[in-house]
Amino acid sequence: MAEKTIRYGLLALTALGGFAASQSNASAAMSFCVDKSSPSHAMDERVAKAVAGSENMTTRLYQFDGSADGDDDGYDASNFKKLAAEKCSLVLGFPVDTSAKEPAIPEGTHASLPYARTGFVLVTPRGSEARALSDLPRGSEVAVTNLTAPNLYFEKHPNVRASVYPTDAEAMNDLVAHKVPAAMIWQASAVNFLAAKGQDRNYCIHALNEPHAQWNVVALYGASGAQAAQAFNAAVTTLRHSGKLASVVAPYAETPKSGFILAADETSSKPALFTEDQAKAGAKEYADNCSQCHGDDLSGMAGPALKGPNFASAKANFHVSDIYAIVSKNMPATNPGSLTTDQYVNIMAFLLQQNGMPAGSTKLTADIATKSQVPLIYSGK
């Protein structure tokens, strides 16, 4: 059972398909493997395009079938290593239980940062007051799919009993036929079924606060995919903090919650919020408008230092938006708000660069700087 906690129809844990990304400097393209049998393959394709676009590269998709031809044992885990070695550098779409102390991933692969958070959900008719199993009336039958984690929840909730089906579609069919008041299935399966039946406005999908119900979705990669994984992590982090990732993964998933980082601490994959040209322009703007108070090297004079562990520390808990608000609204001290928007944005890019943030291909804008919740923590020398 431990190896078969989720499935798409008859899906075991190892059947969950993948997305892979590889980067080719020669072709300026990123290639992605997408499991065409996965209910969230449309999300994975959008993630692929968004990540490649963030890196100013084109997208190439390689589709594979992770359904295992109906085999209850699921898609052989060794296939992910083979895909990463022969078809792609990264394999997207692989779920990892958020309650696990260590990510359970196929041998010979590594996990990227999570790019989505999804799992099993409770589906109820719109207008129902039930948002959790405990809200359902005593004696309620709840549709579940055989060999999935929700089968474990009924002992904890004696007010409901299981109505078990061989596939997600059959479970959902009885829900929309009003034979059961609720169903517990994988989020993407629920989304696809309701959309196909034109019933998406008639039902509500609620995340389950139950064991093994919440999963992070990651990309897998092998020994040759480390560089591609680094680029993928940086792009995902940038998209998440800019708010773009949320729209890319919806309605199949949500963005990962802070702290659920699998491959590395988030500070080692900081988002690239600005371009090198902006930082260079910002250096000149800083010299002309800020250095007289904060020093040529940002170490402080009449004004405080704007660089270093004392300025940008984890304890201070400053975010990019906090610093940009101070810079754009209160500086220069002799004439606050007197610079143009571009000048303030470029100065902010320079401050980020000087505190160890990486430059990228996407320009920093006033809107991004105003909303960004990226922690500003010094990581320079």
Cβ 12 vs Cβ 4: under 8 Å: yes
Residue 102 CB neighbours (<10 A)? 7
Pull the structure tokens for residue 356.
């160890």
Domain count along the chain = 3
- Domain contains 295: yes
Same structural domain for residues 98 and 237?
yes
State the sign of the Cα–Cα–Cα–Cα dihedral 297, 299, 301, 305. positive
- Domain contains 218: yes
Same structural domain for residues 62 and 107?
yes
- Domain contains 188: yes
DSSP 53: H
- Domain contains 263: no
pLDDT class of 121 with cuts at 50, 70, 90:
very high
pLDDT at residue 20 above 70? Answer: no
- Domain contains 255: no
- pLDDT value at position 192? 96
Same structural domain for residues 346 and 198?
no
Cβ 128 vs Cβ 142: under 8 Å: no
Of the listed ranges 113-122, 123-132, 317-326, 333-342, the one predicted with least confidence: 317-326
- pLDDT value at position 28? 65
The dihedral region occupied by 7, where left means phi > 0, alpha psi between -120 and 50, and beta the remainder, is: beta
Q: Which residue has the higher pLDDT, 347 or 59?
A: 347
List pLDDT tens digits, range 72-87: 556 777 888 888 888 8
**Radius of gyration of the chain, Cα coordinates, nearest whole angstrom:** 24
DSSP 3-state of 302 = coil
The H or E element that residue 275 is part of is strand 274-275
Q: What are the angstrom distances between the C-alpha of 93 and each of 32, 330, 371?
A: 11, 45, 29
Q: What is the CATH number of the domain that holds 84?
A: 3.40.190.10
State the sign of the Cα–Cα–Cα–Cα dihedral 228, 231, 236, 237. positive
In angstroms, the CA 323 to CA 330 distance is 10
Same structural domain for residues 293 and 366?
yes
Same structural domain for residues 146 and 198?
yes
pLDDT at residue 270 above 80? Answer: no
- pLDDT value at position 126? 95
Q: What is the CATH number of the domain that holds 289?
A: 1.10.760.10
**pLDDT, average across residues 108-131:** 93
- Domain contains 12: no
Cβ 322 vs Cβ 329: under 8 Å: no
- pLDDT value at position 54? 86
Domain residues for 148? Answer: 119-207
- pLDDT value at position 31? 83
User: What's the one-letter identity of residue 297?
Assistant: D
In angstroms, the CA 124 to CA 101 distance is 32
In angstroms, the CA 30 to CA 235 distance is 12
- % of residues, the chain, pLDDT over 90: 51
**pLDDT, average across residues 230-250:** 89
- Domain contains 100: yes
In angstroms, the CA 372 to CA 243 distance is 9
* Whether the bond into 251 is cis, omega within 30 of 0: yes
In angstroms, the CA 203 to CA 52 distance is 34
- pLDDT value at position 269? 57
Alpha helices by DSSP H, the chain: 41-54, 78-86, 168-176, 187-196, 226-242, 244-249, 276-289, 291-294, 320-330, 341-354, 366-371
**pLDDT, average across residues 59-69:** 82
pLDDT at residue 158 above 50? Answer: yes
Same structural domain for residues 202 and 226?
no
Same structural domain for residues 89 and 234?
yes
- pLDDT value at position 267? 39
